[in-house]
Amino acid sequence: DQQVKQNSPSLSVQEGRISILNCDYTNSMFDYFLWYKKYPAEGPTFLISISSIKDKNEDGRFTVFLNKSAKHLSLHIVPSQPGDSAVYFCAASESSNTGKLIFGQGTTLQVKP
Amino acid sequence: DTAVSQTPKYLVTQMGNDKSIKCEQNLGHDTMYWYKQDSKKFLKIMFSYNNKELIINETVPNRFSPKSPDKAHLNLHINSLELGDSAVYFCASSRTEGGWAEAFFGQGTRLTVV
């Protein structure tokens, strides 16, 4: 039973345009959400996070939106750059001191010059 | 000065062998993890240690045994390796005091069992 889902395996956008990556979750106990970026042969790198008390968090070109009623979050990258081409993982966690993350299956983003 | 480092990066071994993967973090974090990324690219948690104490053990065969000699190290020993153990194994760490925390990952160890 997959509690975190990224339904789009891949996304292709033009440089300078907006990239929107989506993520859905089923467990209503999740209250902390994260996005990771992963290049081939490297480990996932933390990008941005949001807690359930917020509906938006922004960091430079990256913005994460959380819609708790829909159990949906999205990552917006504006403007997209070729260096953003990577696999993006959505992850979720329950507030506890275990730090356990449940990951989606990832979306491969390709930004074309 | 790598934050989370794991060795080796690549490991090719025969079925039935015993192997270890080492992990070290210099971030001062209190919790360390092992995650497995299978052939379908899913990242799933295997184990978590907080201050050297095992706190998460996710239905992993007992051929897999984590060992944490101190807060900065978490090693993974795998006995009697099987073909299905082939995967990429990631070590990670985080600070979990206070609840939410992002995890920092190592570069991964690609294990191939032949």
pLDDT 10s digits, A8-61: 999 999 999 999 999 999 999 999 999 999 999 999 999 999 999 999 999 999
Residues (pLDDT < 70) of chain B are 1, 98-99
Selecting from A87, A95, A98 the residue whose C-beta is nearest the C-beta of B56 gives: A98
Minimal CA separation from B15 to chain A, in Å? 24
Selecting from A36, A43, A93 the residue whose C-beta is nearest the C-beta of B100 gives: A93
Cross-strand pairs, A92: A33, A102
* Coil, strand or helix at A48: strand
Place of tokens 């690219």: B41
Minimal CA separation from B2 to chain A, in Å? 12
Contact at CB, B45 and A100, closer than 8 angstroms: yes
Query: What distance, in Å, lies between the first and last C-alpha atoms of chain B?
Result: 34
